[in-house]
Amino acid sequence: MAERNVAEFDNAAFLGSAGPGRRIVHVKPRLAFFSQGEHAEAIFYLQRGRAKLTVVSTNGKEATITLLHPGDFLGEESLVPETGIRTATATAITGCTALRIEKAELFRVMHEEQTFSDLFLSFVLARSIRTQADLVDQLFNSSEKRLARILLLMAEFGKPGRAEALIPRISQEALAEMIGTTRSRVNFFMNRFRKLGLIEYNSRIRVHKSLLNVILLDQLPERNTANPLLLFTPQGEP
């Protein structure tokens, strides 16, 4: 009996092109892919650019909960069989290109293509682990170490060939929201990192690999950060 010749499903081709139930969208900086409270009718796959997820509390306070990079999915609420509700707002930080996949097409390809299901479930698991790590970081680490970790994540350290990297433009207010502190403390810590040669800060932030020592080895000089001073305000800060 002849062996059945079944072509292997190409995840890269599927996520890189338009087709039935999916289309390429372009989102300009500061515009939203979707907003908190909307019906979740599709998922997005970020092909190019950087984005962020933010939530707004009932009293109007906004917080940035995660940053998104190429290769990330946005809007997993679409997995809810009934019409789900967006729990956050996804906003482009830089110009973004993404693949919009309708819910029906997402379910079809997950049911029919094992390789895609494996890819998507691996992403969901990785995001769950990242969320747990964020919670542990918030509960147990100092705000200075939390800032170092966020900068390293934004620079995508850990990927092959990454020795130092520029991160997208982001305000100190947004960084303060992400680590649960004030802008003045973020300003203080950024100045310390710069003076220690861990980062460069002009119009963009360049993160050096040596910043990893703040997380892994806790290598920072003894200091008193109870009352940080505003040493400088970067020109052209967003």
Confidence of residue 231 (pLDDT cuts 50, 70, 90): very low
Q: Give the pLDDT score at 158.
A: 56
95 in the same domain as 18? yes
Tell me what the mean pLDDT of segment 131-138 comes to: 77
Tell me what the mean pLDDT of segment 4-27 comes to: 88
Q: Which domain holds residue 62?
A: 11-137
Does any domain span residue 223?
no
171 in the same domain as 132? no
117 in the same domain as 38? yes
Confidence of residue 2 (pLDDT cuts 50, 70, 90): very low
The better pLDDT of the pair 235, 90 is held by 90
Does any domain span residue 55?
yes
Q: Give the pLDDT score at 201.
A: 83
Place of tokens 């350290």: 157
Q: If you average pLDDT over every residue of the chain, what do you get? A: 82
Confidence of residue 89 (pLDDT cuts 50, 70, 90): very high
- pTM reported for the whole predicted model: 0.72
Is 138 a residue whose pLDDT tops 60? yes
Is 233 a residue whose pLDDT tops 60? no
84 in the same domain as 193? no
Domain boundary among 93, 111, 137: 137
Read off the CATH number of the domain in which 52 is found.
Answer: 2.60.120.10
193 in the same domain as 145? yes
Using alpha carbons, select from 221, 223, 136, 135 the residue that is nearest to residue 185: 223
34 in the same domain as 17? yes
146 in the same domain as 47? no
The alpha carbon dihedral of 223, 163, 63, 183 has a sign of positive
145 in the same domain as 126? no
Does any domain span residue 170?
yes
125 in the same domain as 153? no
The number of distinct structural domains making up the chain is 2
161 in the same domain as 133? no
Read off the CATH number of the domain in which 192 is found.
Answer: 1.10.10.10
Confidence of residue 187 (pLDDT cuts 50, 70, 90): very high
148 in the same domain as 45? no
Domain boundary among 114, 137, 160: 137
Does any domain span residue 113?
yes
121 in the same domain as 23? yes
Angle subtended at Cα 107 by Cα 23 and Cα 132, rounded to the nearest 5 degrees: 95
The better pLDDT of the pair 102, 202 is held by 102
Q: Give the pLDDT score at 235.
A: 41
